[in-house]
Structure 1
Amino acid sequence: MRVSCPHCGKQLKLSDKIQSSIDALTPGQQIRVKCVQCEKPFPIDVSQRDSTGAEAGGKRYSGANPSGRTVRPPDPPDVSWLKEGVFEEKEVVEEIPRALVLMPDSAGRAIVIRDLEKLGYRVEMAASPEEGMAKMQFVNYATVILHDRFEERELDTAVFHQFIKSMNMMRRRYIFYVLIGESMRTLYDLQALALSANLVVNNSDVQHFSLLLRKTIPEYEALFGPLMEELRIAGR
């Protein structure tokens, strides 16, 4: 299955693993993949799978020629590249974004996990701040969600929050960090900035978590995407 990146237009061939994930989608669900050229993520839903399959099915040879006209065979493939000795391998998209959730067991956590999966994330949970930090040593999470009462202490002394705040910016800038709690004022950018987060959500608005992510993540990528790309190229 091939798709076109909506950002740069590059044709991408999806891996078998991602195609299996798309086949398992139900109407309304999406997965997010990252373009290998511009490195920007974009969503794929079940309609793209169906349209691709229909297009492929429509091009199948039926074995009949109702018009009776002579069919011209296709031209031989271009093998000029053999003389140059250069072969460009097909690039395959492998990455499915992951999300790490650190929240007490509650209805709110179930909503957050459900909405993340609906947006195409592979969701993992941590039972303690130590487990969360250990997971982040080996996995590059695209999104991290922390509830301010996860450690049953004030946020400014919470171990995991301090870990995120002190993280090297070469890694931190690629993580969309969300704080949830009773003291949070939903979509209040000034509070998010003061807490070194990308988004703050009040407990009462968790029911709209999917909508909040669909609004804020594209805005974040549009605002900082070009800057992060330049920093990546510069090795910073």
Structure 2
Amino acid sequence: MDVVCGNCSTKIKIPDEKIKKIPPGQTFGIACPKCKNKISVENKPAAAPEKPAAKPASTPPPKPEKSEPPPKADKSPPPPEPPAGEESGGGGDGGDEGFSGNPFEFLEEGTKTALICEGDAGARAKIKAALTELKYHSSESSTHRDALRQMRFHDFDLIILNERFGTRDPDMNHVLKHLEQLPMVTRRNMFIALLSERFRTMDNMMAFNKSVNIVINVKDINDIEKILSRGINENDAFFRVYKELLKKLKG
């Protein structure tokens, strides 16, 4: 299915296998990969196939008076079977190799989503448990490339990023560099928490310096639910008037 973004006129192709997962007549939302505009798409039910027209009856051909027996076909060996592991049509590479689907594309509108960028399994489990208590649907990234790919297809409400995720130099974090370049209209709707070994929790000066909403020291990982809840509530209160005014202007 092809969809055109109403904001930037970008043409987006949605794989047919994704459409088949949606019940007919149901509407789902996707994000434009170029301008991040949210697009609502309806899976229209397929029209019933038309019955083929009945073939006109044909009269049998007249029988020939005499017919010679057909010549015997030469017996030839069957064509060799392809080697094991190969299929006719060539190519063992799948068309979707390396494709990472969007795990949130079929969620209802208004559902809060979060992305976890943390290499330590123990810390990642504590973060995921905290996000569940805060009513977030979370996704985990194994590498910085996977994180960037997920952010390309979905605008997350919350991103929890360790400053050393995917890098040895915390000042050269690829994910953080990408977030710094986001358009302001997209960045305002996103809450970014930076996990750090260098800075203290709730250090507002360093949060401003790193272009994030909050800094959390890794030693306070056990209290991350309370810290996130406080930071998100303060951020929502700060931008409430701005968002309400922006909503009225858009109509």
Normalised-by-shorter TM-score class: 0.5 to 0.7
Instruction: Give the one of 198, 213, 221 matched to 1:198.
Output: 213
- How far the C-alpha of 1:233 sits from its partner, in A, is 4.5
Residue number among 101, 105, 112 corresponding to 2:116 in the alignment: 101
Equivalent residues in 2 for 1:203-218, closer than 5 Å: 203-218=218-233
Q: Report which structure shows greater RCO (CA 8 Å, sep ≥6).
A: 1
State how far apart, in whole Å, the 2-side matches of 1:111 and 1:142 are.
Answer: 19
The residue number in structure 2 matching 1:221 is 236
Q: 1:132 aligns with which of 147, 152, 167?
A: 147
Q: Normalized against structure 2, the TM-score is what?
A: 0.54
Which of 101, 116, 125 is the matching residue for 1:110?
A: 125
Indicate how the Cα distance of structure 1 residues 233 and 127 shifts in structure 2: closer, same or farther if over 3 A, else same.
Answer: farther
| Cα distance in structure 1, aligned partners of 2:186 and 2:193 | 16
Q: Distance in 2 between matches of 1:232 and 1:179?
A: 29
Q: How does 1:35-184 map to 2 (within 5 A)?
A: 94-184=109-199
* Per-residue deviation, residues 110-155 of structure 1 (Å, max 9, x unmatched): 1111100111100101111121111112212110010011113223
2:135 partner letter: G
1:185 deviation in Å?
1.1
Deviation at 1:208, TM superposition (A): 0.2
Q: Distance in 2 between matches of 1:144 and 1:157?
A: 18
Structure-2 separation of matches of 1:147 and 1:200: 10
Identity rate, percent: 27
Cα 1:162/1:232, change in 2 over 3 Å: farther
TM-score, length basis structure 1:
0.57
Q: Quick one: distance in 2 between partners of 1:210 and 1:149?
A: 21
Amino acid at match of 1:198: N
Secondary structure class of the residue paired with 1:100:
strand
Contact 1:155/1:161, CA 8 A, preserved across alignment? no
Aligned length: 143
Counterparts in 2 of 1:230 and 1:114: CA distance versus 1, 3 Å: same
What is the CA–CA distance in structure 1 between the aligned matches of 2:225 and 2:197, rounded to whole Å? 18
Higher radius of gyration, 1 or 2? 2
Q: Is the 8 A contact 1:156 1:162 kept in 2?
A: no
Alignment gaps of 5+ in structure 2 = 1-107
Q: 1:133 to 1:234 in 2, by over 3 A?
A: farther
Q: Secondary structure at the match of 1:200?
A: strand
Deviation of the 1:157 alpha carbon: 1.3
RMSD: 1.5
Stretches of structure 1 lacking an aligned partner (at least 5 in a row)? 1-92
Secondary structure of 2:138's counterpart equals: strand
Partners of 1:102 and 1:172 lie apart in 2 by: 17
Bigger helix fraction: 1
Instruction: Indicate yes or no: 2:201 matched with 1:186.
Output: yes
SS for the counterpart of 1:99 is strand
